[in-house]
Every structure is written in C-alpha cells, then in structure tokens.
Amino acid sequence: MINGERRIERPLRWAMVGGGRTSQVGYKHRTGALRDNTAFQLVAGAFDMDFARGRDFGVNIGVAAERCYPDYKSLFAEEAKRPDGVEAVTIATPNGTHYEITKAALNAGLHVICEKPLFFKVEEAEEIKALAEEKGRILGVTYGFSGQSMLLQMRAMVAAGAIGDVTIVNLQYTHGYGCDPTGDKTNESQKWRVDPAVAGPSFVLGDLSTHTYYMSNLILPDMRIKELLCDRQSFVGTRAPLEDNAHVMMHYENGAVGTMWVSAVNAGCMTGQRIRIVGTKASLEWWDAYPTELRHEVQGQPGQILYRGTDYLDGIAKDDERLGALHVEGLSESWANIYLKFAIAMDAKNRGDEELLKDLVYPSIDGGLEGVRWIANCVKSAEQGSVWVKYE
C-alpha cells in the first residue's frame, strides 16, 4: 500500500522537455511524477517550442521563471552549472527528437524518462542503452498504462500457473478518434503524429500498440516472439505510408500464438485497450477502461472477477495499491506508480544498489528497446507485403 511516505531519501530534482500547455501528455507526466512530492520535485523545464508560452506555463505550475529555458540544450547547460541543478529529465516531445535529446541528457549526466515510442531504429535504442549503462544512468520509458496494479496481478497469476501454459495472446488497442482526419492538420498535439519525418516509421503501431505490447511482456516475461506478420492500412489516405489501422499475428517461441489489433479508426470505440491471455486451463482478461477488474475464467468453473484493492490479490499487486477497494484508481495512479519506480531506480543507481535494480519491475530502457524492435518488425512485415518475418 502506497500512502505517499517517502521511499527514497529525498525527492529528485526534475525537469521536463516538452509537455507544455498544448501537450496531451505533459499533465500525465506531472501528475505521475509529483503525486506525493516525495519522488520528484519539478524545478526546471523547456516546456514549449514557443519560449514565452513555455515560460508563462512553467511559472504557472510553480517553476521559477529563470529555470524555464528556451530549449533542452540551454536547460542541460545552465542546470549543470547550478549546485541544485536537475538530476532527472523527462522528454515529452515528438518522437523524432527523442534520440538526440536523450543522448544529450545522458551525456549531461542526467537520468532520463522518455516518451514512447522511444526511437525510430533498434540500433539507436541499443546505442542509447549502452550509453546509459556507461554513464550509470537510468532510462525509463513512459508506458503510462503499465503501472496499473492488476497487470502485476496477471503477471503473478501466470507465473503461479493459474491459467496453465499460455496458448493464445489476444491484444487490442483501438479507438476511433482518427476517423475524422481534421486533427491531422489542425491539432498541434496531433499533427506531427502522422508526419513520418517526426513520428517515425509508424503511426498507431508506435503510438498505441507499443503500450499494449509492453504490457503483454510485463505479464508474460518469459515469452518471446519467433515470427510475426503485420497487415497495415491507411484508411484515411492522406496518412499513407503511416497506418491508422493494423492487424498483427505472432508466433511465439513456445508454440503460443498471438494477435494485436491496433487502430485509430475503430469508430465509436471508447473502451478499446484489452488484453486476454489464454492458457490451457483458464484465461485472464483485462480492459484499461475498467482497470479495477480482472476476469479469471477457468474452463468448467464459474467465471471470476477479481477486484483491485482486495486482500486476495498477490503481494505484488497490493504493493502498488493507493486507494483501497471500492474506490476507482485511474490512469493517474498508473503514472504515479511508474514514476515512483523511476525514482526508486534512479536512487538505487545513484547508490549503486544493483541488487534492487535487478528485481524492480518497471518500464526501463529494455522495455523501450523492445517497443522499437516491435515496430521495426511490424513495419518490415507490412512493407514486404504483410508476410511472415523472423522476429529480430
């Protein structure tokens, strides 16, 4: 149970690059990072491409005017000069800038938290992973849904054999907000997502499916994809070559199979991220729209609904509980949970506590790298004509 008491000696001094007034995701980062004021303190930022707007925004959320910077370069440079300079930075900018800013941040000696999809290429992710290791810094990736405690419950139940051997992995993350393409041209926080130069080699595969794919790995840490096939479409033609819909089939090394449906054109769908893990004797199913509930369906027995915050859950799920049963946790708690783990990881890294780091379950550089790899394989398959490709 989390009640806000400190888990690390003192909160880390933290800054943001991006995430300003027009950002869809900036508030989620701050909500997560600043939940209890015992993990991070926001002390600086380069919140916006528009410096004046970014500084005004920074001041409005409590950052000193002189620590609001026009860009990440000046942020890193000026903060490095201060005795109380930032120790960690979040990068919440369009995809195409992640690589260079992350690299600069690590080279500035900062711990980094970066939005997904991490980078465009697997090679970049591998290079940055090596750099982070060399610099002894943490790189966390904000798979923002992955902090929901029932996912950890699923992980624990699968590990405990509650569903038998996994046979089928059924993943979906869809919505319909892309049906109307107006936002592609008019919405500041949307339009870069459909521009390959800024968004990278994919739209919904990167924007949506990397979340769900990471969550499936969180639940199923021992499963590896052997080959996959991806069929992608741009139903709104102006988005081509970036897809607004894709279906993926996966073959896992252990003989299991999987599917992913990812879409921004699933018209009217408001509850569209679902994970169903089927085993030889039971299944687990979870929707992100009803995160408090987990279906456990044992063949031949009454279906079960497990509720968040209850005594019968596994310890790993109860550890991340904040409100207690009967009360709804939302996306805020998920972000708070992963940011708390980022802080714990950074603190452990600072202290050289590799033992703790080995066991900490959180979206690290490895999860980020796997997301990039997932996109790369999907795109490769799609570009070759939606054929099976060896996962590599």
Window 48 to 67, contacts with a second copy (CB under 8 A)? 57, 60-62
**Among the listed residues 99, 120, 143, 261, the single contact to a second copy using CB under 8 A:** 261
Q: Which amino acid is at 67?
A: R
Nearest by Cα to 75 from 32, 143, 16, 128: 16
Tell me how far, at minimum, the Cβ of 331 lies from a second copy, in Å. 4
**Among the listed residues 6, 224, 351, 390, the single contact to a second copy using CB under 8 A:** 6
Residue 352 engages a second copy in binding (rule: CB under 8 A):
no
Q: CB under 8 A: which stretch of 96-104, 113-121, 133-141, 166-174 binds a second copy? A: 166-174
| Nearest-angstrom CA–CA distance, 301 and 308 | 22
Q: Would you say the C-alpha torsion 355, 358, 360, 364 has a positive or negative sign?
A: positive
Question: Could you tell me the strand order of the sheet in which 88-92 lies?
Answer: 40-46, 12-18, 88-92, 111-114, 139-141
Give residues with Cβ within 8 angstroms of 174, minimum separation 6.
208, 261, 262, 263, 264, 266, 269, 272, 273
- The interface with a second copy within residues 371-390 (CB under 8 A) comprises 385-388
Of 5 and 66, CB closest to a second copy: 5
Residue 179 engages a second copy in binding (rule: CB under 8 A):
yes
**Among the listed residues 96, 183, 191, 290, the single contact to a second copy using CB under 8 A:** 290
Q: CB under 8 A: which stretch of 122-130, 216-224, 280-288, 346-354 binds a second copy? A: 280-288
Tell me how far, at minimum, the Cβ of 317 lies from a second copy, in Å. 13
Q: CB under 8 A: which stretch of 72-80, 95-103, 110-118, 168-176 binds a second copy? A: 168-176
Structure tokens at 74: 């000046």
Q: What are phi and psi of 388, to 5 degrees?
A: -70, 130
| Nearest-angstrom CA–CA distance, 139 and 133 | 9
- The interface with a second copy within residues 193-232 (CB under 8 A) comprises 229, 231
**Among the listed residues 254, 280, 319, 351, the single contact to a second copy using CB under 8 A:** 280
Q: CB under 8 A: which stretch of 47-55, 108-116, 241-249, 363-371 binds a second copy? A: 241-249
Q: Using H for helix, E for strand and C for coil, what is the string for 15-35?
A: EEEECCCCCCCHHHHHHHHCC
User: Quick one: 127 exposed, middle or buried, by C-beta within 10 A (0-12, 13-18, 19+)?
Assistant: middle
| Nearest-angstrom CA–CA distance, 118 and 123 | 12
Nearest by Cα to 203 from 176, 234, 177: 234
Tell me how far, at minimum, the Cβ of 286 lies from a second copy, in Å. 12
Q: CB under 8 A: which stretch of 46-54, 176-184, 211-219, 348-356 binds a second copy? A: 176-184
Site string for a second copy, 95-134 (x = CB under 8 A): ----------------------------------------
Q: Residue count at the site for a second copy (CB under 8 A)? A: 92
Residue 291 engages a second copy in binding (rule: CB under 8 A):
yes
| Nearest-angstrom CA–CA distance, 177 and 175 | 6
| Nearest-angstrom CA–CA distance, 214 and 261 | 14
- The interface with a second copy within residues 136-165 (CB under 8 A) comprises 163-164
Give me the count of residues in the chain. 392
Q: CB under 8 A: which stretch of 97-105, 171-179, 337-345, 367-375 binds a second copy? A: 171-179
**Among the listed residues 302, 315, 358, 359, the single contact to a second copy using CB under 8 A:** 302
DSSP 8-state secondary structure symbol assigned to residue 94: -
